[in-house]
Structure 1
Amino acid sequence: MWIGLLIAISITMTIAYDYAYFSLFLAFFIGNIKNKAGFFTLYSVNLGASFLTVNYGFIKQSSLLLSQFPFVFISLMASILLPISTYNKNKREQLEGELESANKRLDDLVKMEERQRIARDLHDTLGQKLSLIGLKTDLAKRLIRKNPDQAIIELNELRQTASTALKEVRDMVTTMRGTQLVDELFRAEQILKAASIQFILHGSPKLQETSQLNENVLGMCLKEAVTNVVKHSQASVCTITIEETPSHNVLTVQDNGLGIERTRKQDRRGTGILGMKERLEFVNGCIDIKTGSERQGTAVIIHVPKLVRKPMKEDEE
């Protein structure tokens, strides 16, 4: 209704005052209509009305309208193109918003499916063996006095079952997609720069002959160590050194901050060292921490084997 009223005003102003430019405002307004049928209907009505009234003015030989012919022509061309351009722009933005929303929903579905897959794999991998471990434990408890030799056999089988389960879990984690050390170093550099800490790297982050699982653990330990530097050390420089030996990768995170003893006194919650130790134990790695007096900083030295060692068989002990 209101656009119809504006079209009537545009026709009146063109006929009565030779002012043919009001259609430009209408063209922009109509271009923002989201309903497709309403857009094309009002677009056609506005365009037809503008052409008819301008032609009527030329037929009447209006001197003012004739003198403005170049501008009137440009106005008519804009009335043709502007609504289409605005409508397409709004439609594209709407589709982009819907696409972004669909991508987010798809990401959520992928994450949910991945969680369910991991849960199924863990259940299939560990469920049977953990049940077997429980049964053998109960059996060994009953036999330990009645038949010690048989109890020792059951305990040896129990240990072998646990080693097999651990190996299967490691193999399953290895097949999962993980973060490479190169990516973690890039994020570490960004975090340190954001904290106004100078970042220095020695060595190549592209590890050779290293399993994905061990590289993931090394990257997670690097993330934790850098987080500790940013949160607790009050350092100005952080140096990361990567060294390779035939059997191990050695990662050193050195800062020139307060030192770990001062840090522990200021933050009773700890600095994540326990979490790094737990991750490293899973792949037979180790961590060494060296710290000096105030302003000499802390060096966190992480040793990770290139490959996960296979569990020893009972007959090889």
Structure 2
Amino acid sequence: MQKWSQLFYKNTGLNPYVWLVFFILPFYYISQYSKLWTLVTGIVIILVFFVCYLLAFITRGWQVYMWIGLLIAISITMTIAYDYAYFSLFLAFFIGNIKNKAGFITLYSINLAASFLTINYGFIIQSSRLLSQFPFVFISLMASILLPVSTYNKNKREQLEGQLENANKRLDELVKMEERQRIARDLHDTLGQKLSLIGLKTDLAKRLLRTNPEQAEIELNDLRQTASTALKEVREMVTTMRGTQLVDELFRAEQILKAASIEFNLDGNPKLHDTSQLNENVLGMCLKEAVTNVVKHSQATICTIRLKETLSDNIVLVHDNGIGMEQGSNKDRRGTGILGMKERLEFVNGCLDIRSGADMDGTELIIQVPKLVRKPIKEE
């Protein structure tokens, strides 16, 4: 059940004891009238004002404007009939808490105009009570001008701060999600290749165990070395997230292709020029994924890697003479691996092109990343 204190804003901008004084003040002011009917009527009007004020807080939509209109009418009545001009303070505070800009401006203007006109009307007819309270009436009028604007701006600022905090939280969640996806891709690319190589060497050692034990022992030693390398790479990736050079990835690609009995051909200079560490790392991870797919899915006997350069890009072509993507039944080539490559390349403004079909032998992947932009040297 909602507590009565929760019907009002938690931060009123004024001390609650000040509001208590404002609540008692109109009753004290009315008690100075000697006529019974004037006293009773004034008390009833005051009670109606505070009831309407409470209803304005707990209602929503158009009903709020209805209650505020009634409150303004009561404020005008109390100023003209009883020379009490301080209800405008309650209205000024309430209007400042209205979130709708058009509604705030409209009610602010109406309340300010009503307060100004009724107070001036009292001065024109030379009301003795109102004239005797001129300093306090002037302060009340100034508060009616400044308090709504101050309260509205404060609430607006708090709302923007809340939105900014929510946006920052959302941004942190997106950064964490992107980091998880990046780590997942790194683990997939790093462990996927090494585990494939371990599987191939295990099958080979198993076949050679009876026919050629010495060669089987060599393969087992390579298997142990591969496992150690995989463990080392995972540790380095988790602890330092270091980049890898394309030369290292080409050496690993040659190892896994030879282990799978696939002929390896390299065409081009593996030393890249005008390329950032990030772009080279992306090229290396994409090359690793492409070679892993060749071993797992292509059924190829030859894999050729060509390295090309243009004025603006570095290009790596991975071509195999296998069954091609359209004829393959495995979905991994079009799934996590290819998607991960595209996501990595999009991050560095690179691109991936896949060519496979009846018009060519096997599959060719064209991996392209931009070079660093070099500023021209000015001639002196």
After TM superposition, the structure 1 = structure 2 runs for residues 86-125 of structure 1, keeping only pairs within 5 Å, are: 86-125=151-190
Distance 2:120 2:241 in 1: 72
Q: Which runs of 4+ in 1 moved over 3 A?
A: none
Superposed displacement of residue 151, structure 1: 0.3
**Gapped regions of structure 2 (runs ≥ 5):** 1-65, 243-380
Find 1:33's aligned residue among 89, 95, 98.
Answer: 98
Q: What is the root-mean-square deviation in Å for CA atoms of aligned residues?
A: 1.3
1:152 equivalent in alignment to 2:217: yes
- Normalised by the length of structure 2, the TM-score is 0.45
Superposed displacement of residue 112, structure 1: 0.7
Instruction: Between the two structures, name the one with larger relative contact order (CA 8 Å, sep ≥ 6).
Output: 1
1:63 equivalent in alignment to 2:98: no
Distance 1:115 1:17 in 2: 70
Distance 2:123 2:209 in 1: 114
Aligned length: 177
User: Who is 1:43 aligned against?
Assistant: 108
User: Who is 1:9 aligned against?
Assistant: 74
Distance 1:116 1:60 in 2: 77
Distance 2:157 2:81 in 1: 39
User: Who is 1:242 aligned against?
Assistant: none
Distance 1:87 1:8 in 2: 23
User: Who is 1:131 aligned against?
Assistant: 196
Superposed displacement of residue 176, structure 1: 4.7
Superposed displacement of residue 175, structure 1: 1.5
Distance 1:165 1:6 in 2: 77
Superposed displacement of residue 41, structure 1: 0.6
Describe the superposition over 1:275-294 as per-residue Cα deviations: whole angstroms up to 9, x where unpaired. xxxxxxxxxxxxxxxxxxxx
Distance 1:35 1:176 in 2: 50
User: Who is 2:227 aligned against?
Assistant: 162
After TM superposition, the structure 1 = structure 2 runs for residues 242-281 of structure 1, keeping only pairs within 5 Å, are: none
Paired letter, 1:70? P
Distance 1:149 1:88 in 2: 83
Describe the superposition over 1:207-258 as per-residue Cα deviations: whole angstroms up to 9, x where unpaired. xxxxxxxxxxxxxxxxxxxxxxxxxxxxxxxxxxxxxxxxxxxxxxxxxxxx
Q: 1:107 to 1:147 in 2, by over 3 A?
A: same
Paired letter, 1:172? M
**Gapped regions of structure 1 (runs ≥ 5):** 178-317
Partner SS state of residue 33, structure 1:
coil
Distance 1:35 1:62 in 2: 37
Computing the radius of gyration over CA atoms, which structure comes out larger, 1 or 2? 2
User: Who is 2:89 aligned against?
Assistant: 24
Paired letter, 1:160? Q
Q: 1:92 to 1:57 in 2, by over 3 A?
A: same
Distance 2:241 2:114 in 1: 65
Distance 1:98 1:33 in 2: 18
Distance 1:164 1:22 in 2: 80
Superposed displacement of residue 146, structure 1: 0.8
Q: Tell me the percent identity.
A: 91
- Normalised by the length of structure 1, the TM-score is 0.54
Distance 1:19 1:129 in 2: 87
